[in-house]
């Protein structure tokens, strides 16, 4: 039986942490696998959102510089804020999806290697 030879614990905390304890893996391998699974499970997409924000900000500044005609109107500023909000949200969603796919991949590989 799978659970009699291998143990997966969920440690109680504000955010529970997965701890892998497979008999056929060394302590370091179990810790590395636990760290990867926890990072993927709790992936929030913040780094991807920040990257998209930076790219969006640079893109919008280039757009403003190219189309600048002497004045900046309030509508341009509001469009820029909306553009950055949408771009950052897309980045965050992509980051969350990448974390979920990474988690699915890790679990699939883990189950195949047991």
Q: Are residues 61 and 30 in the same domain?
A: no
Q: Are residues 91 and 75 in the same domain?
A: yes
Where residue 54 falls among pLDDT bands split at 50, 70, 90?
very high
Q: Are residues 38 and 60 in the same domain?
A: no
10 Å CB burial of residue 52 (0-12, 13-18, 19+) is: buried
Q: Are residues 15 and 35 in the same domain?
A: yes
Q: Are residues 23 and 55 in the same domain?
A: no
pLDDT in tens, 12-32: 556 677 888 888 888 898 888
Question: What is the residue range of 90's domain?
Answer: 45-114
**Mean pLDDT for the chain overall:** 85
Closest C-alpha to 6, from 23, 19, 28: 23
Residue 1 pLDDT > 60: no
* pLDDT attached to residue 7: 59
Instruction: Judge contact between 98 and 48, C-beta under 8 A.
Output: yes
Closest C-alpha to 93, from 37, 58, 52, 32: 52
Whole-model pTM: value is 0.73
Question: How many structural domains does the chain have?
Answer: 2
Q: Are residues 53 and 34 in the same domain?
A: no
């Amino acid at each position: 039986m799978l659970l009699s030879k291998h143990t997966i614990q969920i440690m109680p905390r504000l955010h529970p942490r997965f701890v892998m304890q497979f008999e056929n893996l060394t302590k370091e391998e179990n810790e590395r696998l636990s760290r990867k699974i926890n990072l993927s499970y709790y992936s929030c997409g913040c780094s991807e959102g920040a990257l998209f924000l930076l790219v969006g900000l640079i893109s919008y500044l280039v757009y403003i510089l190219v189309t600048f005609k002497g004045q900046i109107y309030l509508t341009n500023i509001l469009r820029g804020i909306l553009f950055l909000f949408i771009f950052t949200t897309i980045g965050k969603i992509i980051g969350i999806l990448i974390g979920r796919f990474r988690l699915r991949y890790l679990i699939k590989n883990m189950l195949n290697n047991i």
